[in-house]
Amino acid sequence: MDLTTDRPFDLTDAGRRAWNAIVADPGSTLLCSDFDGVLSPIVRDPDQAWAAEETVTGLARLGTKVGKVAVVTGRLVRKAVELGKLDEQAGLESMSVLGLYGFERWDAATGEFDEPYAPDGVEAAKAELPGVLAGLGLAHARLEDKRLSLGVHTRELEDPHGALATLEIPLRELADRHGLRIEPGKFVFELRAPGVDKGDAVRRLIDEVRPRTVVFAGDDLGDVPAFEAVRSLRDTGDIDGLLICSASTEQNALVELADVIVDGPPGVAVLFDQLAQALEA
């Protein structure tokens, strides 16, 4: 029986295999999702990026059926839990939230936060950053302190594209001086401590959970290492993998790597709903 007949999505062959594997054995599934742009819409003020109710409800519905649910985000773990109201949602009892690309963690089972201190380079770069921005005439760029990383956002500036171009080299130099990496995103540059990315975070979850099937839903460049980690394990035949791209007009780096493309958080909600229906059938 083809369990995917009612599915309205175009899946790759590998994605269809993973979908069928999830339906056949949901308990052996690890379901991971990014936060911004996947569970929550992208908004001008990142502190107001509340998760869409339908995405979190869908995740919770799946949470009662799959082996484990995880949010893997570049955000502070506390902020992601708060903006998703993830500690209030029934059905997410198996959930872990990996913040700062896995540097921080919260587990629903214990309610405990693990939040280590930030490395020195981040603190030093943070102290210098306002002076660098003022020197470029970009003092109004929004700064986001994520402890392990610093975000410089240009979305709210008059010329967001021009500001990105102006920032790139000076921020790269600042990052080099303090042993940090620079990561571009949607109208943002992030200066980040090295050695932490979503690929490492997902591999650690896979080692812990030993799933047969892994789902990852992402929307931005920071999700590429996670997609690549799942793809490489899938290529060896160790797991099935379903990679979901929550598409936007701002970023299409994941399109080529994904098994299914959906239209932003509303599309993610529909896909979660379809998968939950398939599991409940």
- The Cα–Cα gap between 55 and 165 comes to 34
State in angstroms the smallest separation of the CB of 62 from Mg ion: 19
Structure tokens of 280? 């409940």
State in angstroms the smallest separation of the CB of 36 from Mg ion: 4
Question: In sequence order, which residues have a C-beta less than 8 Å from that of residue 148 and are 6 or more positions away?
Answer: 100, 101, 103, 118, 119, 122, 192, 193, 196
Contact between residue 37 and residue 248 where contact means Cβ atoms under 8 Å apart:
yes
34 binding Mg ion? (CB under 5 A)? yes
State in angstroms the smallest separation of the CB of 38 from Mg ion: 6
State in angstroms the smallest separation of the CB of 40 from Mg ion: 9
- The Cα–Cα gap between 163 and 233 comes to 38
197 binding Mg ion? (CB under 5 A)? no
36 binding Mg ion? (CB under 5 A)? yes
Within 62-81, the residues that bind Mg ion by CB under 5 A are: none
Segment near Mg ion (CB under 5 A), from 59-67, 82-90, 195-203, 216-224? 216-224
Beta-bridge partner residues of 184: 189
State in angstroms the smallest separation of the CB of 130 from Mg ion: 26
Segment near Mg ion (CB under 5 A), from 28-36, 146-154, 172-180, 205-213? 28-36
37 binding Mg ion? (CB under 5 A)? yes
Rounded (10°) angle between helices 198-209 and 224-235:
40
240-246 and 213-218 beta bridge pairing: parallel
State in angstroms the smallest separation of the CB of 244 from Mg ion: 12
| Of 67 and 99, CB closest to Mg ion | 99
Within 136-175, the residues that bind Mg ion by CB under 5 A are: none
Structure tokens of 225? 């290492």
Query: What secondary structure does DSSP assign to 81-124, as a single string?
Result: HHHHTTTS-TT-TT-EEEEGGGTEEEETTTTEEE-PPPPHHHHH
Segment near Mg ion (CB under 5 A), from 6-14, 32-40, 173-181, 267-275? 32-40
| Of 46 and 67, CB closest to Mg ion | 46
Structure tokens of 100? 């700062």
State in angstroms the smallest separation of the CB of 253 from Mg ion: 11
Query: Could you give the residue ranges of the DSSP H alpha helices within the chain?
Result: 13-24, 53-63, 77-84, 120-135, 160-177, 198-209, 224-235, 264-280
Rounded (10°) angle between helices 120-135 and 160-177:
140
240 binding Mg ion? (CB under 5 A)? no
183 binding Mg ion? (CB under 5 A)? no
190 binding Mg ion? (CB under 5 A)? no
Contact between residue 143 and residue 151 where contact means Cβ atoms under 8 Å apart:
yes
220 binding Mg ion? (CB under 5 A)? yes
Q: Which of 104, 190, 219, 259 binds Mg ion (CB under 5 A)?
A: 219
Segment near Mg ion (CB under 5 A), from 122-130, 152-160, 214-222, 261-269? 214-222
Where does this chain bind Mg ion (CB under 5 A)?
A: 34, 36-37, 219-220
